[in-house]
C-alpha cells in the first residue's frame, strides 16, 4: 500500500510540473489589466539565486521492529537557482537530530531492548522547483511545488543486532510558499515535504540457529525485509536573495 501511494504521489507531482510549465498562465505571466503598475498585486523578483537556512520537524513513522530512527527536529540549508521562466534548480542538505532503540535478537523479549542511541540522520537531494506565479510574487507570496532525488544516510556502525539503516535512495515531494516583502533581498519561506526512503532489516531479526530455543524472532517470516516509508517534514526558513 505504501508503494502504491508513493507511485500516485509521484504521478501527481509530475502532472503538476507539466501543467504549470505549459504556455505561461495569464495570472503569472501575462500583463495584468485593470491595474496601474504600482497597484498590481504582482511584483517581479529581480534576484536569480537564493540561499536559505531552515529548521523544523520531521515525522518518522514507527516500524514493526521498533529500531528505526524516530521523529525529531531537522536543521539544514538549501540553494535555489533560477533556470528560466518558473523553474528553479534546488540543492538541499539537512540533518535530523533523532534517536533509535537498539535491540539484541538473541536475548529474551523482556531483555532485548538495550536502550537508545543518538542518530544524526543526514539527507541531501537535488531537484526542480516550479514557482506557480512564475518569477514574481502575488501579494508578496510565491507558492511552489518541488520534486527531488537524493540520499538519506545514517553514519552509525552496525549494532549488536546487525541493524544499520545505512545509505538509502530517497525521493522528495513537497510544496511551499515564500513571503517576500517588496523587492528586497530577504524573504521567509514555509515548506512541507514528504521524504520517501526505504528501511531494511537484517536476517537475524527473522530467526537464526545462533538464537537459543524458545526465544521468538524479532519479526515473523511474513514481515517484509525492506519497506518504503513516508516521512513528512515541515520547515520554516530565512532566505537571502542575490545575483540579478
Instruction: Indicate the domain borders of the chain.
Output: 2-26+48-242
pLDDT > 90? residue 54: yes
Decide if 244 contacts 47 (C-beta within 8 A). Answer: yes
Fold of 2-26+48-242: Porin (2.40.160)
Q: Which of 37-46, 133-142, 177-186 has the lowest mean pLDDT?
A: 37-46
d(CA 45, CA 43): 6
| Residues with Cβ within 8 Å of residue 152, at least 6 apart in sequence | 121, 122, 123, 165, 167, 168, 170, 195, 197
In this prediction, what percent of the chain has a pLDDT beyond 70? 84
Window from 8-22, 148-162, 182-196 with minimum mean pLDDT: 8-22
Query: Using CA atoms, how far apart are residues 79 and 130, in angstroms rounded to an integer?
Result: 14
205 or 34, higher pLDDT: 205
Average confidence score pLDDT of the chain: 87
How many other C-beta atoms can be found within 10 angstroms of the C-beta atom of residue 204? 18
Tell me which long-range contacts 219-225 makes (C-beta under 8 A, separation of at least 24): 219/64, 219/65, 223/64, 225/200, 225/201
**Amino acid 202: pLDDT:** 93
Amino acid at each position: 500500500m505504501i508503494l502504491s501511494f508513493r507511485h500516485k504521489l509521484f504521478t501527481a507531482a509530475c502532472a503538476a510540473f507539466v501543467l504549470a510549465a505549459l504556455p505561461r498562465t495569464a495570472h503569472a505571466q501575462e500583463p495584468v489589466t485593470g491595474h496601474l503598475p504600482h497597484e498590481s498585486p504582482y511584483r517581479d523578483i529581480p534576484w536569480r539565486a537564493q540561499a536559505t537556512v531552515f529548521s523544523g520537524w520531521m515525522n518518522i513513522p514507527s516500524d514493526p521492529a521498533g529500531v528505526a530512527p524516530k521523529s525529531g527536529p531537522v536543521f539544514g540549508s538549501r540553494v535555489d537557482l533560477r533556470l528560466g521562466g518558473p523553474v528553479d534548480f534546488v540543492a538541499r542538505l539537512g540533518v535530523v537530530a533523532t534517536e533509535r532503540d537498539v535491540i539484541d535478537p538473541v536475548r529474551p523479549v523482556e531483555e532485548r531492548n538495550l536502550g537508545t542511541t543518538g542518530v544524526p540522520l543526514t539527507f541531501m537531494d537535488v531537484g526542480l522547483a516550479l514557482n506557480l506565479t512564475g518569477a514574481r510574487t502575488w501579494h508578496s507570496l510565491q507558492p511552489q511545488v518541488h520534486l527531488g532525488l537524493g540520499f538519506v544516510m545514517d553514519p552509525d556502525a552496525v549494532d549488536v543486532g546487525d541493524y544499520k539503516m545505512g545509505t538509502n535512495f530517497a525521493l522528495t515531494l513537497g510544496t511551499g510558499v515564500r513571503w517576500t516583502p517588496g523587492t528586497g533581498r530577504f524573504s521567509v519561506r514555509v515548506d512541507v515535504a514528504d521524504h520517501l526512503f526505504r528501511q531494511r532489516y537484517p536476517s537475524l531479526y527473522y530467526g537464526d540457529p545462533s538464537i537459543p530455543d524458545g526465544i521468538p524472532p524479532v519479526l515473523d517470516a511474513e514481515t517484509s525485509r525492506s519497506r518504503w516509508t513516508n516521512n513528512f517534514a515541515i520547515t520554516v526558513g530565512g532566505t537571502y536573495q542575490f545575483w540579478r
